Amino acid sequence: MPGHPLRQRIADVLDLAPDASAIEYDGQWHTYGDLAAARRIETAVDGRGQVGMLLRNRPAHIAAFLGVLLAGGTVVVINPSRGDDRTKADIAALHLPVIVGDPDDVATLVDTNSGSAVVTIAEPGAEPRVLAAGDGHRDTRPDVAVRMLTSGTTGPPKRIDLTYGMLAHSVMGPEWENSKPPTEVRGGVAIVNAPLVHIGGVFRVLQCVTEARPFALLDRFDLDKWADAVRRHRPRAVSLVPAALRMVLHSSLRREDLAGIRAVTSGTAPLSADDADAFEEKFGIPVLTSYAATEFGGGVAGWTLADHQKYWKAKRGSVGRANPGAQLRVVNDDGHPLGPDQPGLLEVKPPQLGPSVPWMRTTDLARIDGDGFLWILGRADQAIIRGGFKVIPDDVRAALESHPAVAGAAIVGRADERLGETPVAVVELREGASIDADELMEFLRKRLARYEIPTDITIVDAIPRTPSGKPDLGAIRGS
């Protein structure tokens, strides 16, 4: 049931060349015809609206995801990797008409007597299996394509409604209503390693599908599998969250391993200018940082190659300038706009939300210079007030990550009777590195103010992270 331009574009691409390769996964190619068979999910959706999907990065899940959109439904993203108890509680609270997932996930996480229709998916092209017919109740949100989870960095993830129009603008461009479908499958192969439970994964998949671009799908970022895909497919551009970019940077990979790549895009979390410069120095590839949020339905600022070549040396550390159609400003606590280079709270008008959208207040501290370049200074809601001094965790994290032994760091506040709060850090070391907390403290004393230095540094095997690659601060506080 196409109708909306996004649904029509998906249908057009799936019917363009049914025998052409669409997704490479685990050494096997799946065709556009395999994905088109996802229309079989329409019977399970049957106009009931919201469909909870236990999403994993697998071809059958992408096929079912596309099938729900083609049926005019709403995909409610459920992360099956958050832990069984939390996922079960999430599903129970949602009261969805339909739940779809991998057979193993459904067997472990879904109550087939809950009243929801329950459907399992195994291989793209295979008939979905209905385990429970459900009671037929409906819960429709006709304009909403995806109810997407936020990253859950500081607390439980919440869901944001992404409309068909928002996603169409993000993946098909500002002229999406009049956009023409591709006439042939594109020749290059992209790489998708962002999780489907995060907006980055949904964006990359829909972008590839609407452009008729085949792609290699990874379950998650794995350095060896990613490098193998890069060597074989030689994509011109790749996307790496900062944690993954640092893994590539500090690996044994060489320039020739990444031959063909012209640019790396990076977002979702802060990336230091030093890491961006080190990556370009090692591999000869510029890093184009960006600024986006689930609430915006995509990106609102970023670097272009032209801007990077012209401005990077003078503007290093910025996340770039406003995307076409986006508006940015910085305000004080009372909401009054501030001038160039004055720090305050960032407000945004995302183009994906249309021309009449009001200013959206973020929790990000920022400044915008006279040339329109945006700097993210930290999260206002994560600031640690230590005896009246404001500590921005990202400043402490960046200082720790500048040490050659440190693979990653995360900073949280700890209650203190005298000072209110003090910063504490968890640190993950690079493979083969050896250093203790006292040595790291000494390192920080030359780089931070006294009040910024953590009162405790714990070295861990691995920092807990959200699906988007950000440190999971809730899990860190609870550990």
Predicted model pTM:
0.86
Distance, CA of 83 to CA of 319 (rounded, Å): 34
- How many DSSP H helices and E strands does the chain contain? 15, 25
pLDDT at position 155? 55
Percentages of the chain per state (helix, strand, coil), in multiples of 5: 35, 30, 40
Cβ atoms of 127 and 36 within 8 Å: the answer is: no
In the numeric block, which tokens belong to residue 313?
A: 């040396």
> For residues 400 and 406, is the Cβ–Cβ distance under 8 A?
yes
Cβ of 175: how many Cβ atoms within 10 Å? 9
pLDDT (tens place) for every residue of the chain, 479 residues total: 567 999 999 999 999 999 999 999 999 999 999 998 778 887 777 778 899 999 999 999 999 999 999 999 999 999 998 888 889 999 999 989 999 999 999 999 999 888 899 999 988 777 888 888 877 677 788 899 999 987 655 456 789 999 999 999 999 988 898 899 999 999 999 999 999 998 899 999 999 999 999 999 999 999 999 999 999 999 999 999 888 999 999 999 999 999 999 999 998 778 889 999 999 999 999 999 999 988 888 889 999 999 999 999 999 999 999 999 999 999 998 999 999 999 999 999 999 888 788 999 998 999 999 999 999 988 888 889 898 888 989 899 999 999 999 999 999 999 988 888 999 999 999 988 999 999 999 999 999 989 999 999 999 999 998 887 888 888 888 77
How far apart are the C-alpha atoms of 227 and 236, rounded to whole Å?
Answer: 14
- Structural domains of the chain, with CATH: 5-178 (3.40.50.980), 383-478 (3.30.300.30)
